[in-house]
A and B are shown apart, each in its own frame.
Chain A
Amino acid sequence: MKKNLTIWAILALSTIGFIDSVYLALKILLSSPITCSAFGGGCDIVAQSKYSAIVGVPLSMLGVLFYAAIIIGITYYLQRRTIKSLEWIAYGLLFGGLFSIYLLALQAFVIEAWCLYCVVADAIGIANALLAIRLLRMK
């Protein structure tokens, strides 16, 4: 019972993460370049920083793929119920969580600006990782 709840929680969070990443990715892709905000809020600063992409791929795009993969992975698990698939998901989420912490640290200490949408995605990444740890301890 607890296991199912945890899995549905991960699915719900990942769906929000997916929506958030899609929004951010499309906003960045479609409006170019992003105007410089007059207020502290730094989505433009973060998006224009050199940390915003890996090998040319915007991080938001990677976020979209990551959360889509989690959603697909969980859907697969819910059908087949193999331990292996659950493990894959859990470790994937752990990695995602670590990466999210890294991205939050970048915003806080290196870029020194926060982007709300990135923070949301990162928070979900960390929450998911915690749920994944819970899952792993359950077996």
Chain B
Amino acid sequence: MSNKGKEILTWVVLAIGLSAIVAGIYGAVAQPGEIGKEAGSLVAPVTATDKTKGSAAAKVTVVEYSDFECPACSYFYGMLKKLEEEKGDAVRIVYRHFPLPRHRYARITAQAAEAAGMQGKFWEMHDMLFEKQKEWSRSEDIQGILIGYASAIGIDTALFINDLKRADIDEKIDRDMALGVEQKIEGTPTFFLNGNMIQFRSYEELKQLVEAELSK
């Protein structure tokens, strides 16, 4: 083969080689959502102390281990909200706290949600926290902001401030975390659909998984 020929061949091989690497890694990384049967079944069933939304008689239950300061949790929050809107009473949603130590406000926002829950507005605070995550996670006055949210959702702020420090709220959060540890979850959010861990990247994927369970 001529020198020029060899040169061209080298470049072609190089181009193919680099493209093959990219394509190969893409194939490996772009995995669709699936039910991870080996990954784990829920070790702790839903109990009366869990924060739930929706009917206990619902055919489908989604349990989430979550952290209010985790960006991914805020992202998936949008999908759960949509699921709730579309499926209504057919789906029950359960929230369990798993505030990560490295998120400075994860704990206090968990406490805030529970404190709001003492006045019957856990889910309102939960929604507020995820929707406004970018705001409060950068603030230097988290207390002030949380009190503002409490006021916005219509609860007694003096009571709220007091309840933030309640020992039983602390214990509840610790219990949820212990369950998460026992569950060996690797991060937030982690979702369980009717007891089996699921992973999904889009609302469509979540919907498919839920509808599959609903049709059983």
A residues apposed to B, CB below 8 Å? 18-19, 22-23, 26-27, 30-39, 44-45, 48, 68, 71-72, 75, 79, 113
- Which residues of chain B are near A23, meaning CB under 8 Å? 25, 29
Residue in A19, A30, A35, A71 with the greatest tally of chain B CB atoms within 10 Å: A35
Interface CB pairs A-B, < 8 A, 15:
A18-B21, A19-B25, A26-B26, A30-B26, A30-B29, A33-B71, A33-B75, A36-B67, A38-B100, A38-B188, A68-B18, A75-B10, A75-B11, A75-B14, A79-B10
Complex interface residues of chain B between 1 and 60 (CB less than 8 A to chain A): 7, 10-11, 14, 18, 21-22, 25-26, 29-30
B118 interfacial by beta-carbon distance below 8 Å:
no
Instruction: State whether A37 touches B18 (Cβ < 8 A).
Output: no
Bound complex: CA A32 to CA B76 (Å): 10
Partner pick for B188 among A32, A35, A71, CB 8 A cutoff:
A35
Q: How far is the CB of B131 from chain A (nearest CB, A)?
A: 16
- Which residues of chain B are near A68, meaning CB under 8 Å? 18
Bound complex: CA A79 to CA B5 (Å): 12
B70 interfacial by beta-carbon distance below 8 Å:
yes
Bound complex: CA A79 to CA B11 (Å): 10
- Which residues of chain A are near B188, meaning CB under 8 Å? 35-36, 38
- Which residues of chain B are near A79, meaning CB under 8 Å? 7, 10
- Which residues of chain B are near A32, meaning CB under 8 Å? 75, 201
Please judge, given known A-B contacts A79-B7, A79-B10, whether A38 and B18 are in contact too, CB under 8 Å: no
Q: A30-B26, A36-B103 are in contact. List 13 more A-B contacts (CB 8 A).
A: A19-B21, A22-B25, A26-B30, A33-B75, A36-B70, A36-B71, A36-B73, A36-B187, A39-B187, A44-B187, A45-B102, A68-B18, A75-B14
- Which residues of chain A are near B18, meaning CB under 8 Å? 18, 68, 71
Q: How far is the CB of B13 from chain A (nearest CB, A)?
A: 9
**B199 nearest CB neighbor, chain A only:** A35
- Which residues of chain B are near A38, meaning CB under 8 Å? 98, 100, 180, 185-188
Instruction: State whether A35 touches B14 (Cβ < 8 A).
Output: no
